[in-house]
Amino acid sequence: MVLNIGLLGLGTVGTGVVEIINERKDAIKKSTGKSINIKRVMVNNLNKKRDIDISEISLTEDFEDILNDTEIDVIVEVTGDLESSYKYIIEGLNAGKHVVTANKAVVSKYLGEFSSLAAEKNLAFLYEASVGGGIPVIKPLREQIELNEINKVQGILNGTCNYILTRMINEDKDYREVLKVAQELGYAEADPTADVEGHDTLRKLRILSTLGLQGKVTEEDILLYGIGSINSLDIKNIKKMDSTVKLIAEAKKFGDGFTAIVQPTIVKNNNYFANVNMAYNSVAFEGDHVGELKFYGPGAGKLPTANAVLNDVLDIGNNSYRKGNPLKDESLKNLNEEIKGKYYLRVSYINNETNGTLKELANQVLCEDEDMAIITNDMKLSKINSILSGLNLSKDRYFLAKIME
Ligand SMILES: NC(=O)c1ccc[n+]([C@@H]2O[C@H](COP(=O)([O-])OP(=O)(O)OC[C@H]3O[C@@H](n4cnc5c(N)ncnc54)[C@H](OP(=O)(O)O)[C@@H]3O)[C@@H](O)[C@H]2O)c1
């Protein structure tokens, strides 16, 4: 039996999909009894020079060629464009094809719609690669929600931020210098905003929390703080605390609702997350029966991401994926107002008024000069925010990080 794939996109991930299939075709056939065949590949530009041999690949620029091909069973969407990928996924499912995607932006925004349409049509909509790149995390979470109440999902979900923070800490390097190297190495985009300001992490948290907490968690429900304003003084202070800093995403049940936040977080050097370094990612979730599970691995990259995509494809080929819509339509109460803790706060170009206000918040003053850094009392984040906005500080003048208990 043959499982025919219509591949949308032949960039980094699409190329990895082709490479792994070419290498593992015989092994897959031997273990599953099925041949995986890439029947057609859609790209933006037919004339672009490719890194792989495409002599045996049938390329098209027209999605209709894939949609109308009745022999194609599975659409693998690895293009990346938000609006067009939405259309490809909806039309693919409506045409009776299973869909696998790595596109976190489209999954984050339309997960509910895709999941219910796929269930209605008795098809698979799978998105393992959209969170944590090569790390299997969506499938285990999907399995655990059947037996557990998931109380918390947490993780380091963006390789670019983690790479920048790791090198700043390990090599005492300046933020701009490391960002530039990250861009040269292809870890960071030319416009790094989506990564360093935390939008990419937020989308992944939205996916994990919608599935894990089993209710409606929208992108707007998640508080967002990026790493874009961290400087060398912060790194120096954090190291003096025997700690390191990570961009951590966390959603958890709280009271009769939930909280969800992406924020720079200072973790002790002996904490599990402190050892998730460079472009690696980690996801942890906590179920009331299974306890805490942690997953660690490469958060992106051609082959790890393509590997996750193909795990989904094989689950479809083996008919071993979980059926039905795993999401609940329940509204959850957003209690982000209640988020509290001790925070590290550094403000630059201090004047007398700012100095006085910060001292009122401080449990400990770490340094006071032109730049002032404090550790706050245990207090509500909303209170810190209202004080900061009262001081009228532009975003690049301060850095705020939660201190993990
Ligand atoms: N790269 C990673 O490590 C990674 C990790 C996890 C998830 N992802 C996700 O995987 C997806 C693909 O990422 P990538 O890094 O492979 O992207 P990429 O290298 O930019 O490749 C995108 C591919 O899609 C094609 N394409 C883009 N827009 C199209 C459109 N509107 N119609 C037809 N073809 C279109 C491009 O065609 P041309 O080649 O002709 O330009 C290209 O082949 C994204 O959603 C990304 O977020 C990537």
Each residue's pLDDT tens digit, 142-164: 999 999 999 999 999 999 999 99
Q: Does domain 2-139+305-317 have CATH number 1.20.58.100?
A: no
Closest residue by CA, ligand 1 atom 38: 44
pLDDT range class, residue 73, cuts 50, 70, 90: very high
For residue 383, report the distance from its CA to the centre of ligand 1, in Å: 41
For residue 88, report the distance from its CA to the centre of ligand 1, in Å: 13
Ligand 1 lining (C-beta closer than 6 Å): 9-14, 42-45, 48, 78-81, 84, 102-104, 129, 133, 300-301, 305
Closest residue by CA, ligand 1 atom 47: 103
26 Cβ contact list (under 8 Å, min separation 6):
none
How far apart are alpha carbons 93 and 97 in whole angstroms?
5
Q: What is the mean pLDDT of residues 55-80?
A: 97
> Residue 72 gets which letter from DSSP?
-
Q: Which of 20, 79, 103, 200 to mutate to test the pocket of ligand 1 (most atoms within 8 A of CB)?
A: 79
**Mean pLDDT across the chain:** 96
Instruction: Flag whether pLDDT at 134 surpasses 90.
Output: yes
Q: Which of 44, 76, 106 to mutate to test the pocket of ligand 1 (most atoms within 8 A of CB)?
A: 44
Closest residue by CA, ligand 1 atom 32: 44
Instruction: Flag whether pLDDT at 385 surpasses 90.
Output: yes
Residue 262, classed as helix, strand or coil, is strand
Highest mean pLDDT among 175-184, 201-210, 352-361: 201-210
155 bridge partner residues? 249, 283
Residue 89: what pLDDT? 98
For residue 202, report the distance from its CA to the centre of ligand 1, in Å: 20
80 Cβ contact list (under 8 Å, min separation 6):
9, 11, 103, 105
Q: What is the mean pLDDT of residues 73-86?
A: 96
How far apart are alpha carbons 163 and 343 in whole angstroms?
23
pTM: 0.97
Q: How would you label 329-340 residue by residue, b for 16+ Cβ within 10 Å and e otherwise?
A: eeebebbbeebb
Distances (CA, A) of 4 to 18, 39, 66, 128: 13, 6, 11, 20
Q: What is the mean pLDDT of residues 17-22?
A: 97
Residue 185: what pLDDT? 84
Residue 190: what pLDDT? 85
How far apart are alpha carbons 327 and 115 in whole angstroms?
7
Q: Write down the domain spans for the chain.
A: 2-139+305-317, 146-297+330-335, 339-403
Contact, 165 vs 247, CB < 8 A?
yes
Closest residue by CA, ligand 1 atom 26: 79
Residue (of 77, 125, 105, 129) closest to 297 by Cα position: 129
From the CB of residue 180, how many other CB atoms can be counted at a distance below 10 Å? 12
How far apart are alpha carbons 326 and 336 in whole angstroms?
25
Q: How many CA atoms lie within 13 A of 75 on its CB side?
A: 32
Residue percentage of the chain with pLDDT more than 90: 96
Q: What confidence tens digit (pLDDT) does each residue in 200-211 have?
A: 999 999 999 999
Q: What is the mean pLDDT of residues 104-131?
A: 98
Residue 186: what pLDDT? 80
pLDDT range class, residue 188, cuts 50, 70, 90: confident
List the structure tokens of 124.
Answer: 């698979």
Distances (CA, A) of 94 to 67, 124, 155, 323: 10, 12, 34, 17
Q: Which of 8, 12, 61, 158 to mutate to test the pocket of ligand 1 (most atoms within 8 A of CB)?
A: 12
Instruction: Flag whether pLDDT at 11 surpasses 90.
Output: yes
For residue 266, report the distance from its CA to the centre of ligand 1, in Å: 33
Q: What is the mean pLDDT of residues 327-336?
A: 96
Name the class of domain 146-297+330-335.
alpha beta
Contact, 234 vs 175, CB < 8 A?
no
Instruction: Flag whether pLDDT at 187 surpasses 90.
Output: no
- Residue numbers annotated as active site: 204
Residue (of 67, 68, 38, 36) closest to 53 by Cα position: 38
For residue 6, report the distance from its CA to the centre of ligand 1, in Å: 14
Name the class of domain 339-403.
alpha beta
How far apart are alpha carbons 9 and 204 in whole angstroms?
21
| Minimum-distance ligand 1 atom for the alpha carbon of 304 | 3
Contact, 391 vs 354, CB < 8 A?
yes
Residue percentage of the chain with pLDDT more than 70: 100
Closest residue by CA, ligand 1 atom 28: 79
How far apart are alpha carbons 180 and 127 in whole angstroms?
31
Q: What is the mean pLDDT of residues 259-285?
A: 98
Q: What confidence tens digit (pLDDT) does each residue in 231-246 have?
A: 999 999 999 999 999 9
For residue 79, report the distance from its CA to the centre of ligand 1, in Å: 4
Instruction: Flag whether pLDDT at 101 surpasses 90.
Output: yes
Instruction: Flag whether pLDDT at 189 surpasses 90.
Output: no
